[in-house]
């Protein structure tokens, strides 16, 4: 199955909210965003650690590709101070 590709090369303001909107509406595991070259730091600072998604940047000819891969849900250990 091919990844969904979203062209956001034209977005200059509000890129991170646009990406978040697409991620919220997407039920698949991998989505690629075509973004302007050279704005990796802006995206990383906007997302921090990425939350439920892993980020990967790939250079392309006239743009960069931001690949977002959904992280597998892991059971969180129960943190109970009483049982500690």
Helix or strand (DSSP H, E) at 33: strand 30-35
The percent of the chain in helix, strand and coil, each rounded to the nearest 5, is: 25, 30, 50
Kindly state whether residue 18 falls inside one of the protein's structural domains: yes
Count of residues making up the chain: 84
Residue 1 vs residue 22, higher pLDDT: 22
Kindly state whether residue 19 falls inside one of the protein's structural domains: yes
The number of folded domains in the chain is 1
Q: How many of the other CB atoms lie within 10 Å of CB of 61?
A: 5
Contact, 69 vs 29, CB < 8 A? yes
* pTM for the predicted model, two decimal places: 0.80
Kindly state whether residue 21 falls inside one of the protein's structural domains: yes
Kindly state whether residue 64 falls inside one of the protein's structural domains: yes
How does residue 79 score in pLDDT terms, banded at 50, 70 and 90? low
Taking residues 49-70, report their average pLDDT: 89
């Amino acid at each position: 199955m091919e990844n969904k590709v979203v062209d956001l090369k034209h977005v200059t303001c509000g890129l991170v909210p646009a990406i978040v909107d697409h991620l919220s509406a997407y039920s698949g595991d991998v989505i690629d965003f075509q973004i302007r070259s050279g704005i990796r730091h802006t995206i990383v600072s906007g997302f921090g650690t990425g939350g439920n998604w892993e980020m990967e940047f790939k250079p392309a000819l006239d743009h960069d590709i931001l690949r977002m891969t959904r992280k597998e849900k892991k059971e969180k250990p129960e943190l109970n101070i009483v049982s500690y």
